[in-house]
Structure 1
């Protein structure tokens, strides 16, 4: 999964509307977090439906547990975004 995710990151600039992405990994616990910033819901959904993303998700679906949270904001706060991502681990 990490290699597949790295492949998505290598092609990040191809995804129109993607403003930024950060990944956190705890290899010991086999957990990763991703926080991404998009200029619109439409851009996010284009990425989620993209062939490259769908290929990664399909290949790893049986081995991963995915939780997601989306929200809209006028002022992006990376610290708050990471706090939200880490809260999902406990839910």
Structure 2
């Protein structure tokens, strides 16, 4: 039996904090680079619009891909405060 990524993402439960655990260190860097975070984030947390990178931290699945894959090290990533964040139902 094969399970799609979308089906697995649906099983994740998230208790959203009012404080973001993700931040863009330098917005000007995002406006001048090729913005790889728009393609490598499996939860599509990052969007570029109106000349700025926007972070939908509420969608983050805490995989850590962005902190490793950003070639500019322009994403500040930390775990959400205690009691907030992802609760995996499977795996």
TM-score tier after normalising by the smaller chain length: 0.3 to 0.5
Q: Flag the structure with larger Rg.
A: 2
In terms of fraction of residues, the more helix-rich structure is 1
